[in-house]
Structure 1
Amino acid sequence: MQHKDQVLTANEQRAVLWRLLGYTKAHKKSLTSAFVLLLLATAADLLGPILVKIFIDNYLTPRTFPYEPLLWLGLLYIGLHLAAVFMNYFQAFMFQHISLKIIQELRVDVFANVERLGLSFFDRTPAGGLISRITNDTESIKELYVTVLATFVQNIMFLIGIFIAMFYLNARLAILCLFLIPIIIMLMQLYQKISSRYYAVMSEKLSQLNAQMNETIQGMAIIQMFRQERRLRKEFAEVNEEHLQAGMKSMKLDGLLLRPMVDLIQVIALILVLSYFGATSFVSPVEIGVLYAFVNYLDRFFEPVNQMMMRLSLFQQAIVSAGRVFKLMDYKEYAPIQNGEQSPTILKGDIEFKDVSFSYDGETDVLKNISFTIKKGETVAFVGHTGSGKSSIINLLMRFYEIKRGEILIDGMPIESFQNEELRKKMGLVLQDPHLYTGTISSNIRLYRHHITDQEVRKAAEFVHANEFIEKLPGQYEAKVTERGSTLSSGQRQLLSFARTIVDEPTILILDEATSNVDTETEEAIQEALKRMQQGRTTIAIAHRLSTIKEADQILVLHKGEIIERGNHEALLKQEGLYHKMYLLQQGSE
């Protein structure tokens, strides 16, 4: 996705902001309490200059200093300041607590939507970019809630209070000062319009950096083997430079439109106020207390404006990041779900494909009119060159993708009538590259299916002969497993994936190149276990090594998405077709 797609219009930015504010609805009571404290703290803070004005005009200028009124005036001044300190602390704490809760909800929402998306979405979306949206972008949004919104709300309330106080002191001059507000709003809008472009580029480049780092770390062995370090460093540096340039442009904009421009407006406003008092002094006497209070309020007026302007950059980053996050949340390309109200169960495991055709991109068919039947207890193997469509058949059977043409039946029922939970529970899948998680041997076999007991875990490991190496590990079944099982051999990882599959007693067994990464000695043990596993189960096996599927009840030979040969091992050899050629080539290489 190009960064230009991430630039939001003014209307889109407003829509994003309202959507972000929608998350505050669940915290109405806490927000109301925080607002009450904020109002009280603002009122207490704003009353200070009024008390000083009273002291100057009523006591200091006429030089009368009665003890008791001044004592009460002083105590009230100190009391208001202390009350403002305490109330500001608690309201700030409450706002930040609410903000952190909202970000927690937002992250859960976006992650939940990502989990529901179909594999077609992940096929074309870099993992690093997704991680960047769920982590970096939500972190930017957190600053909006924790820093920006609380500051804006507090300072807007403060500005309203300042103008009330100004009107109390001098209504005509306060009206003149109101003209400062549209000037500041125009400055904010100009900054928002220009900066959104830079922050969109920064967010997109950061996603690209994360995606590149993720891909590089996962493929580090290949990179070092083919000496690609220099090229990748150059590509990484180029993207990093683009991120830096966007950041520099943003900093230059901040340096021009934020504090300096506001300071300039403040100086002009101060000159106008002093000029007004100077001009009126020729007509009527000027109250020193009023002058002090007005200048004090004017100074206080620009301090919250400066605070808001300095946080506009965080606000703009948050809006851009929220737009990216909401775009991810709004993806509706979900994995296929059950159709119909019936919820059948898989009992026998009979499978039938009827004229199934499928395309990943909607244009080129990777499967063409595939038809076959597998009865309970039978083993059917798929063979063919890379790209012939073997894995696509499994993807459709597991219902990772929706079929476009044809029909898939399980126990005589359309596959879409089953709940995905039923399909996943009754099908056991072993992939060529088993994915292990950080944890223990036991947790990787159990995979957090809490109904599986320790005894069942051990039984499954013994069934596939994984117990032989597990019992030699320190801690045995509680031995630590690092990310992706990097400290285990490929054969050991495969054995664990076998145990993980068998422990749940699947009705249908799917083996996708299950023995390709296993040495000959281990393969013999697995083949023995497989024979026991396949008894009474419907088994689908994909294999490159034809020697592993000689015993299959039926072998289907795929070529360019079509079944061109079918039969058992001996029958296919007699046909002297593609299977015969593949078998002779493998026999020769062996």
Structure 2
Amino acid sequence: MPRDANTTSTTRDDGGALRLLMSYVFADKVRFAKTLLLVVVATVFDVMGPMLSKVFIDDFIVPGHYPLWPIVGVVALFIFAVVAGTLLKYQQTMRFLDMALTAVLDIRQRVFKHVLSLPMAFFDYARTGQLVSRITNDTESIKDIYVQFLSNVVSNVILLIGILVAMAILDWHLMLIALALLPTVMGLIYLYQRFSVKVVSESRQLRSDINATVSESISGMEVIQATNQQQAKLAQFDGINNRYYRTRLKAVTVGSLLLRPAINFLSILVLACIVWFFGIKVVQGVAEIGVLYAYLNYLGRFTEPLVEITQRFSLYQQAIVAGNRVYELLQQPAAAEAPSDSAQIARGQLSLRQLQFAYQADKPVLQDISVEIEAGQFYAIVGHTGSGKSTLLSLLLNFYQPQAGEICIDGRPLQQYSHDSLRQGVGLIPQEPFILASTIFDNIDMGRGLNQAAVERAAKQAHLHQVIMAMRDGYQTQLGEGGLRLSTGQRQQLIIARALAGSPKVLLLDEATANVDSETEQVVQQALSHLHRQVTMIVVAHRLSTIRHADRILVLDHGQLLEQGSHEQLMALPHGRYRAMYELQQQAQKVAQAEA
């Protein structure tokens, strides 16, 4: 069973997240090498400025000697270094941004593709809002590791090396003073990582919870308002929102203490050391004004990259947490891949042999189910809530794998059919219709590339063609979200048309008429009766009057096949479960009619 998607993982796999992220960094090694070369060249031009200023001060200003062409050369070289360094920095930023957007594009595509391939068992536990957050917010945060972290850290590390080299050229003693900052900064980064990781992880999880709560509330707004649960939902949202605020405040507090303020304090100490050291040099008569100016300039540039690097570690931490969440989702095992051969379902003959299935090992849902269904037959499945009716349909659709037993179609095990063959040969009409916010044509076609004639033929089989033609735009009518322009019964007819458009050999109906009125139920029944003997139909029914003409009725009770036979055969059993259920419904219907 998949891990509960609502719980936060207690173990972190930063190695996995880093592998995911770095795989894109080194996906194009030549491009990455060119970008690094660009950073090095930009750094060379950047550190040339103070060195040229030192030459100008010590060689021209201090001695009061101003030869025209040497000064022009130094000034021109200074201007060229500034302009070239600025342009190259712009280019390196654009290169890293392009790498980041390309990575996010591919990661988001991979994640969504993987989600589509996950088994139905995963979605028994997953929350929609959290999945949306991982596919959108978390993948977007990964971009920061390229643009804000990788670009910034790489360029600043190379800049630090360039500054240290320039300092060493001027005076290696002063360079050692500045170099003393590095281990202290590394210690601060370690402390920040140590204190922030738990807070950042919790804040990402709480953001997902916020998205999940909002999504759940909006989708169930009708029920929330009908049951007067607005204040309860608001209290739930406020609780999560306040926890998110507190965790974000903790993260900001840790960052504000250990990052920029600490680095600024250390840089002031280093500046004091350099001034003291330079004062001694002045006393000794070996100091140069240009060297002091260049050192102070380099020191300002030296501390700023350190501040930038430490500041970016907060973004790095968030990106790693986001990458870890995305990596965890990618590690969820996908549904077993079916063979890619061209075998098709030709007849629709079904064999269920000693099926055993349980969602949890100690709670069996189906026990020793064995049924033979000939092609074109109409089978009905009835039973009380929790008897395993819908689960049996899920097994027939290969959404779940039985722990024991076998399902065969046309004598071939279900697992041996390719995904496309199975979906083409087996159609599903669910109890709750899923309608795209698109046209009627698109809702029937569902991306299968059907022509107009095939779509119209399916609509006619579902007795929906006349309704569609009465609309102004016909099959191009936009239905809106949830198919609001259609009645409940028409939505169900649309789903039937969708299933029939693929010309399935097996048609599964999961209480397809449970939520429609009697008139619409008759229309749906009329549509299905025309398919008898043409398509193998398995109908999960709540209204037993709708399956009286079934070839065989299976009565399930707590996962066991209690009774089976035609309506007449089952009604002949003096103390049968089916007979008791049928008579109870008939009595309830008579009472309802009398009260009306």
- Aligned pairs for 1:382-397 (under 5 A) are 382-397=381-396
- Of 467, 482, 485, 1:484 maps to 482
Offset of 1:113 from its aligned partner?
A: 1.7
SS in 2 for 1:282: helix
Whole-angstrom distance in 2 between the partners of 1:28 and 1:285: 48
CA contact (8 A) 1:566 1:572 kept: yes
SS in 2 for 1:92: helix
317-326 vs 470-479, greater mean Cα deviation: 470-479
CA contact (8 A) 1:7 1:197 kept: no
Change (3 A) 1:18 1:371: closer
Question: How big is each residue's C-alpha offset from its partner over 1:207-263, in whole Å with a ceiling of 9 and x where there is no partner?
Answer: 111111121111111111111111111111111111110011111112111111010
CA contact (8 A) 1:380 1:540 kept: yes
Count of residue pairs brought into register by the alignment: 584
Offset of 1:52 from its aligned partner?
A: 0.5
Q: State the partner residue of 2:561.
A: 563
2:535 counterpart letter in structure 1: R
Offset of 1:498 from its aligned partner?
A: 0.7
The answer as to 2:416 corresponding to 1:417 is yes
CA contact (8 A) 1:376 1:538 kept: yes
Give the TM-score of the pair, scaled to structure 1.
0.96
Structure 2: gaps spanning 5 or more residues: 590-596
The answer as to 2:269 corresponding to 1:283 is no
- Aligned pairs for 1:17-28 (under 5 A) are 17-28=18-29
2:91 counterpart letter in structure 1: F
- Aligned pairs for 1:120-135 (under 5 A) are 120-135=121-136
CA contact (8 A) 1:439 1:482 kept: yes
Change (3 A) 1:7 1:240: farther
The answer as to 2:316 corresponding to 1:337 is no
Give the TM-score of the pair, scaled to structure 2.
0.95
Whole-angstrom distance in 2 between the partners of 1:19 and 1:169: 43
Change (3 A) 1:317 1:378: same
1:95 counterpart letter in structure 2: F
Q: State the partner residue of 1:444.
A: 443
1:372 counterpart letter in structure 2: V
Q: State the partner residue of 2:154.
A: 153
Whole-angstrom distance in 1 between the partners of 2:522 and 2:586: 18
CA contact (8 A) 1:491 1:522 kept: yes
Q: State the partner residue of 1:165.
A: 166
The answer as to 2:404 corresponding to 1:400 is no
- Aligned pairs for 1:299-448 (under 5 A) are 299-332=300-333, 334-338=334-338, 344-448=343-447
2:356 counterpart letter in structure 1: S
Q: State the partner residue of 1:475.
A: 473
CA contact (8 A) 1:336 1:402 kept: no
- Aligned pairs for 1:149-228 (under 5 A) are 149-228=150-229
Q: Percent identity?
A: 38
Whole-angstrom distance in 1 between the partners of 2:221 and 2:170: 71
Offset of 1:343 from its aligned partner?
A: 5.9
Whole-angstrom distance in 1 between the partners of 2:46 and 2:142: 30
SS in 1 for 2:371: strand
Q: After TM superposition, what 4+ stretches of structure 1 lie above 6 angstroms from structure 2?
A: none
SS in 2 for 1:499: helix
Offset of 1:298 from its aligned partner?
A: 0.6
Question: How big is each residue's C-alpha offset from its partner over 1:270-327, in whole Å with a ceiling of 9 and x where there is no partner?
Answer: 0011111112222233100011101110110011111122222111111111111101
The answer as to 2:114 corresponding to 1:110 is no
- Of 5, 19, 22, 2:9 maps to 5
1:544 counterpart letter in structure 2: H
Q: State the partner residue of 1:232.
A: 233
488-497 vs 29-38, greater mean Cα deviation: 29-38
56-65 vs 279-288, greater mean Cα deviation: 279-288
Q: State the partner residue of 1:40.
A: 41
Offset of 1:6 from its aligned partner?
A: 4.9
CA RMSD of aligned residues (A): 1.6
Change (3 A) 1:121 1:265: same
2:394 counterpart letter in structure 1: N
Offset of 1:2 from its aligned partner?
A: 7.3
Whole-angstrom distance in 1 between the partners of 2:104 and 2:198: 24
2:338 counterpart letter in structure 1: Q
Whole-angstrom distance in 2 between the partners of 1:20 and 1:291: 43
Whole-angstrom distance in 1 between the partners of 2:263 and 2:11: 27
SS in 2 for 1:281: helix
Whole-angstrom distance in 2 between the partners of 1:264 and 1:175: 18
Offset of 1:15 from its aligned partner?
A: 5.0
Change (3 A) 1:124 1:174: same
SS in 2 for 1:345: coil
Whole-angstrom distance in 1 between the partners of 2:126 and 2:455: 36
Whole-angstrom distance in 1 between the partners of 2:426 and 2:532: 13
Q: State the partner residue of 2:593.
A: none
Question: How big is each residue's C-alpha offset from its partner over 1:370-403, in whole Å with a ceiling of 9 and x where there is no partner?
Answer: 1111001111100111111111111111110011
1:338 counterpart letter in structure 2: A
Offset of 1:171 from its aligned partner?
A: 1.1
Whole-angstrom distance in 1 between the partners of 2:16 and 2:521: 59
Structure 1: gaps spanning 5 or more residues: none
Offset of 1:359 from its aligned partner?
A: 0.2
Question: How big is each residue's C-alpha offset from its partner over 1:322-365, in whole Å with a ceiling of 9 and x where there is no partner?
Answer: 11110111111x224337x9764321111111111100122211
SS in 2 for 1:407: strand
SS in 1 for 2:572: helix
Offset of 1:26 from its aligned partner?
A: 2.2
Q: State the partner residue of 1:533.
A: 531
Question: How big is each residue's C-alpha offset from its partner over 1:413-435, in whole Å with a ceiling of 9 and x where there is no partner?
Answer: 22222222211110111011110
CA contact (8 A) 2:439 2:476 kept: yes
Q: State the partner residue of 1:549.
A: 547
SS in 2 for 1:311: helix
Change (3 A) 1:4 1:573: closer
- Aligned pairs for 1:493-532 (under 5 A) are 493-532=491-530
1:337 counterpart letter in structure 2: E
Change (3 A) 1:342 1:440: closer
CA contact (8 A) 2:16 2:327 kept: no
Whole-angstrom distance in 2 between the partners of 1:127 and 1:360: 21
Change (3 A) 1:119 1:4: closer
Change (3 A) 1:478 1:2: closer
Whole-angstrom distance in 2 between the partners of 1:486 and 1:171: 77
Question: How big is each residue's C-alpha offset from its partner over 1:73-97, in whole Å with a ceiling of 9 and x where there is no partner?
Answer: 1111111111111111111111101
Change (3 A) 1:18 1:379: closer
Change (3 A) 1:19 1:526: closer
Whole-angstrom distance in 1 between the partners of 2:68 and 2:281: 34
